[in-house]
Amino acid sequence: MTAMAIAGTNRRERVTLGGRVHTELRELLMSGELAPGQKMSLRNVAEALGTSMTPVREAVARLVAEQSLEVLPNRAVRVPLMTRERFRELTTVRLAVEGYAVEEAARRRTEADLAAMRCFEDAFLAEARSPRPQAERAVRSNKELHFAVYRAAGLPTLVGIIEGLWLKIGPVLNLDLKVSPERLKTGGATEHHRRLVAAVEAGDGCAARSALVDDIKGAASFIESTGRLLDEAGPDLNRHPVGALAPEGETQPERDIATAHLGSR
């Protein structure tokens, strides 16, 4: 019983099973469904996805290489914890790289780019104004909007770099958004988005960068205010993960979501 027979992977495009697992874990990380500190077992992930260990190992190796996962000295694999120092560094780099991206986007955007941006902005706006906003959708719309702008810069390499940054910072960013969805209304994100899209449309790179900087800084200061970031990585914190991917004993609700999304058999 090969897993190849389970999933219809005999598509024309070359999708390796390892690539599929990589994408799967990537989405889970970006959407904040895997909390920082959460430990993962290759075998459990493989079982949850209905494959063997081999593709999982390849996917995890890739994620470890791009520092979206880390392997502890004890060989345990987990979602990296985020120290305040690291968070600030990532934010600094994001400001520089994504700021440059939106400047370029303002200069080179096409009409199709603008249409995509408006579409995702509307989606985010609708979710933020909803009486019962769903963090999941808001996170996705926010991401789609940002990357619609970044893609408009016409520099695929840069988009890839930014994806790597989001993958590193996504767990903390989106986990906190899930916990406190009221930030959607009070954070001013919708206003930043409006300014960003308008500036890109007007071709004003400077204003676009300003709007993006406000957006990023706003989210960053909120995260810092939650006090969830580590001041410094204590050695004992390596021993207390938030939870394992495969629930032992009783299953927590959000872990069920993760497992449900992982299981594709």
Q: 20 vs 118, which CB is nearer to DNA? A: 20
From the list DNA, a copy of itself, none, partner contacted by residue 160 (C-beta under 5 to 8 A by kind): a copy of itself
From the list a copy of itself, DNA, none, partner contacted by residue 38 (C-beta under 5 to 8 A by kind): none
Q: Which residue in 21, 22, 193, 211 binds a copy of itself (CB under 8 A)? A: 22
Length of the chain: 265
Tell me, rounded to whole angstroms, the distance of Cα 225 from its chain centroid: 20
Q: 72 vs 96, which CB is nearer to DNA? A: 72
Q: 140 vs 168, which CB is nearer to a copy of itself? A: 168
Q: Which two tokens mark 90?
A: 């990532």
From the list a copy of itself, DNA, none, partner contacted by residue 87 (C-beta under 5 to 8 A by kind): none
**Which residues does 36 contact at the CB level (< 8 Å), separation at least 6?**
79, 80, 81, 82, 171, 172, 175, 242
Residue 50: exposure state from Cβ atoms within 10 A (0-12, 13-18, ≥19): middle
Q: 165 vs 198, which CB is nearer to a copy of itself? A: 165
Per CB under 7 A, residues contacting DNA are 1-4, 10, 16-18, 40-44, 51-55, 57-58, 60-61, 71, 74-77, 239, 246, 264-265
Contact 185, 157 (CB under 8 A): no
Sites of contact with a copy of itself (CB under 8 A): 14, 18, 22, 57-58, 61-62, 65-67, 71, 73, 75, 89-90, 92-93, 96-97, 100, 155-158, 160-161, 164-165, 168
